[in-house]
């Protein structure tokens, strides 16, 4: 039996419905007559929410040990570093 099998099984159908619903919300938000900054913030927030649902429940990161979680998120700071480092070219 693998590690992921040792926990209570998530409600996969519920997560699927949630992802589909959030996609519909995204489509609605993208065309709202609001300021571009607000729409971008909302869309990025919704995308991160959906990505977390996939990672935590479909990829079972929620049920993995801390070592695996750290292993999975370790590359993410590089995203911030690369964007900030190169954005400085436009800022200064």
Could you say whether residue 32 binds other proteins (CB under 8 A)? no
Residue 43 touches other proteins, criterion: CB under 8 A? yes
Beta carbons within 8 Å of 53's beta carbon, 6+ residues apart: 15, 18, 19, 22
Largest CA distance in the chain: 55
State the Cα–Cα distance between residues 19 and 6, nearest whole angstrom: 25
| Residues shown for the chain | 92
User: Residue 87 CB, nearest distance to other proteins (Å)?
Assistant: 6
What is the contact surface with other proteins in residues (CB under 8 A)?
1-5, 9, 12-13, 15-16, 19-20, 23, 26-27, 29-31, 39-40, 43-44, 46-47, 50-51, 54-55, 58-59, 64-65, 67-68, 71-72, 74-76, 78-79, 82-83, 86-87, 89-90
């Amino acid at each position: 039996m693998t590690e992921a099998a040792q926990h209570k099984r998530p409600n996969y159908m519920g997560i699927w419905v949630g992802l589909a619903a959030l996609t519909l919300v995204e489509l609605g938000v993208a065309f709202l007559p609001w300021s571009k900054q607000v729409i971008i913030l909302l869309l990025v927030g919704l995308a991160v929410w959906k990505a977390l649902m996939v990672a935590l429940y479909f990829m079972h990161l929620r049920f993995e040990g801390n070592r695996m979680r750290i292993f999975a998120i370790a590359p993410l700071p590089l995203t911030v570093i690369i964007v900030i480092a190169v954005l400085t070219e436009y800022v200064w």
